[in-house]
Amino acid sequence: MAEGLVRGEGFATDASIIKADAQRQRRVENGDDIDWGDPAQAERPVREYLAALEETNDPKESTRTLSLTDPAATWTAAPGGPAFFAYSTNYLIDLETGIILDVEASAVNKAAQAEATRTMIDRVEETFGLKPERLVGDTNYGSASMLGWLVDEKHIEPHVPVFDKSERTDGTFGRSDFTYDAENNHYLCPAGKLLKTSWRTQKKDPLSYRASQFDCQACPLKEKCCPNSLSRKIVRTPFESARDVARAIAKTDAYKQSRRERKKVEMLFAHLKRILKMDKLRSRGFSNAKDEFLLAATAQNLRRMAKRLAITEPVTQLIPA
């Protein structure tokens, strides 16, 4: 596989979750409290959730809104409307054919979708011996750690927008205005002064590069660089080289073509919701969400393969004499 595209989409769980939560709340108000230490009193999605917590050494912090009947579902308002409990399905497709190579369910957040992408890429490589040369995605997959994994470990070209908050909107210099010298490990500011690391920060991760206070106080560009501080500081993560690779790719024509080809995966999600009518999940629990997403992706692949493998030559009808 020469090219790959990854994308995540959220799907609401069935409305029965809200009804079941309301019924459970009434049981609590009536004094019929639930013994959470007794697995027999919990439904299967809750038992799966508790089992997952036991397997995790460092469990995540509980969210503010938690479903008592489907705790693995995420309370989200990502589409811009009212919030609801949902799961996210993630597709890894081949750009040339549009075939879904892998599908993975996850929570509805950027970190979970990025982790699902790693799972899918590794699983496709182990199962089919396929690894994409370039990966196309949106900003959700442009975090520093994700880009570092793609470039440094998997050697995959990230055709992904860099998730970057280093640029400033107040008119002062952003990080792109400073030049990094990898050989000497320092930054050069627009005024030609050096920003270096101190011995105290050389063992820290990420590294902090600071300019000399003496240089900044006498600099004529101070008001455009660090008007509210004595000197300028730049923080550089260990994955900055991978982010630079993604920034360089974003300036190429191949990147522009990749942005246009993203519609292939968007069309799959539109087909999933509008044609297959999978706007909501029919069952609760993370395992059921995985099963439903897998079956839906299988149906989409069969439909596409039937069109690609269909006989296009006219068939001559034989009429017996």
93 and 196 within one domain: no
Q: How far apart are CA 118 and CA 293, in angstroms?
A: 18
Residues facing residue 11 across a β-bridge: 87
Mean pLDDT over residues 252-281, rounded?
Answer: 89
| pLDDT band with cut points at 50, 70 and 90 for residue 251 | very high
70 and 28 within one domain: yes
Q: What is the pTM assigned to this prediction? A: 0.75
pLDDT digit string, tens, across residues 158-187: 999 998 877 777 888 988 889 888 888 889
Residue with the bigger pLDDT between 80 and 211: it is 211
Structural domain contains residue 146: no
Query: In which order are the strands placed within the sheet that holds 233-236?
Result: 179-181, 186-188, 194-196, 207-211, 233-236
pLDDT digit string, tens, across residues 206-232: 678 889 989 998 899 999 999 888 899
15 and 126 within one domain: yes
- The residue written with tokens 């939560």 in the block is 21
67 and 23 within one domain: yes
The percent of residues in the chain predicted with pLDDT above 70, rounded, is 75
275 and 232 within one domain: no
269 and 206 within one domain: no
Structural domain contains residue 82: yes
Element (H, E) at 305: helix 286-308
Nearest Cα neighbor of 158 from 4, 1, 314 is 4
| pLDDT band with cut points at 50, 70 and 90 for residue 312 | low
The percent of residues in the chain predicted with pLDDT above 90, rounded, is 31
Last residue of a domain, one of 223, 238, 253: 238
222 and 75 within one domain: no
Element (H, E) at 265: helix 263-274
Q: Per-residue pLDDT for 301 more than 80?
A: yes
Element (H, E) at 236: strand 233-236
70 and 218 within one domain: no
pLDDT given for residue 74 in this prediction:
86
Give first-to-last CA distance, the chain, whole Å.
Answer: 51
Within 8 A by CB and 6+ apart from 263, the residues are none
274 and 130 within one domain: yes
* Tally of domains within the chain: 2
pLDDT given for residue 171 in this prediction:
83
| pLDDT band with cut points at 50, 70 and 90 for residue 1 | low
Structural domain contains residue 73: yes
Which residue range(s) make up the domain with 210?
Answer: 175-238
| pLDDT band with cut points at 50, 70 and 90 for residue 37 | low
Q: Per-residue pLDDT for 205 more than 60?
A: no
13 and 58 within one domain: yes
Mean pLDDT over residues 2-20, rounded?
Answer: 60
User: CB atoms < 10 A from the CB of 141, how many?
Assistant: 24
Residue with the bigger pLDDT between 234 and 316: it is 234
Mean pLDDT over residues 109-127, rounded?
Answer: 93
197 and 52 within one domain: no
pLDDT digit string, tens, across residues 87-111: 999 999 998 888 999 999 998 888 8
